[in-house]
Amino acid sequence: MVTIDIAYQGTLRCQARHQPSGTVLVTDAPVDNHGRGESFSPTDLVATALGSCILTIMGIFAERHGVDLTHATVVVKKHMVADPHRRIGRLEVDITVPGVADPKLRSALEAAAHGCPVARSIGGSIELVERFTWL
């Protein structure tokens, strides 16, 4: 279990503290939802969690198999919808991995990415589109 303490700072801004590490982050409502957009919005953190989770799970697999994933990247594009209520409707995930030529290893890394706990937690409530580019 991990505890995260979150305090409302006013003006649609929150400060979150990760208890185990003491790391602090700030969220701000986006401009299109009455905020200043000066930091990650809560839904931006969902997109960020997905992308970093995918790279982390791929990294765990890569370390176990002696593969260097340094310089692998993920770009997540978050699409909001407003009907019937405001929520994340779609996340497009572009995963770029340099230096992995073996087709079996690529397939295994893609399978690892699909096992990301954040993606599994999102389930079918958000459309997920994942694209891999192998350099």
Domain layout of the chain by residue ranges: 4-33, 42-134
Long-range contacts of 110-117 (CB under 8 A, 24+ apart): 112/57, 112/58, 112/60, 112/61, 113/54, 113/57, 113/58, 115/57, 116/50, 116/53, 116/54, 116/56, 116/57, 117/53, 117/57
CA distances in angstroms from 61 to 22, 40, 55, 98, 106, listed in the order given: 28, 29, 10, 16, 11
Confidence of residue 8 (pLDDT cuts 50, 70, 90): very high
CA distances in angstroms from 42 to 15, 49, 67, listed in the order given: 11, 11, 33
What is the C-alpha separation between 57 and 117, in angstroms, rounded? 9
CATH of domain 42-134: 3.30.300.20
What is the C-alpha separation between 51 and 46, in angstroms, rounded? 9
Confidence of residue 123 (pLDDT cuts 50, 70, 90): confident
Residues 29-83: tens digit of each pLDDT? 999 999 999 999 999 999 999 999 999 999 999 999 999 999 999 999 999 999 8
Mean pLDDT rounded to a whole number for the chain:
95
Predicted confidence (pLDDT) at residue 105 exceeds the cutoff of 90: yes
Confidence of residue 84 (pLDDT cuts 50, 70, 90): confident
